[in-house]
Amino acid sequence: MDFGEKRVGLALSDPLGLTAQGMETLEPEDEGELLTKIEEMVTQKGITKVVVGLPLNMNGSKGPTAKKVLKFTEKLREKLKKPIVTWDERLSTISARRALNDMRRRTKGRKGEVDRLAATIILQSYLESQR
């Protein structure tokens, strides 16, 4: 999950936990709606663990955005009753934009696509670390 102020990009791993695929980008009205949508998706897809990107500063410290993500993660943990892992997401959005540019796809007006690809990059990085 690539958690943002306005949008949340989502990705899902294959059953073997080898590859990440982008799912969708949520644009909820509020945090309550976001928690409900994620809970529905987790139940529907049989998800057993959630990985949330943690936007650390370049020096590894936690800034205001990381603290917001950690607060949201606690609420999500209470709602889902499933393991929630935070994962360093430094540069994931930049990597996503670069990948789209490399594919000759414009990122302007495609913020949802950038968020979904960033979530995929975050999840793939996590999956690779588990091997």
pLDDT digits over 74-129, tens only? Answer: 999 999 999 999 998 876 666 666 666 666 555 455 566 778 888 998 999 899 88
- The candidate with the shortest Cα–Cα distance to 80, out of 53, 54, 48, is 48
Q: What is the pLDDT of residues 6-57, one digit of tens each?
A: 899 999 999 999 999 999 899 999 999 999 999 999 999 999 999 999 998 8
Q: Determine the structural domain holding residue 84 and report its residue range.
A: 2-129
Q: What is the DSSP string of 58-118?
A: TTS---HHHHHHHHHHHHHHHHH-S-EEEEE-TTHHHHHHHHHHHTT---TT-HHHHHHHH
CATH code of residue 70: 3.30.420.140
Model-level pTM greater than 0.85?
no
For residue range 92-105, list pLDDT tens digits in order.
666 666 666 666 55
Count of domains forming the chain: 1
Which amino acid is residue 131, in one-letter code?
A: R
- Smallest CA-to-CA distance from 7 within 29, 23, 35 is with 29
Q: What is the pLDDT of residue 9?
A: 93
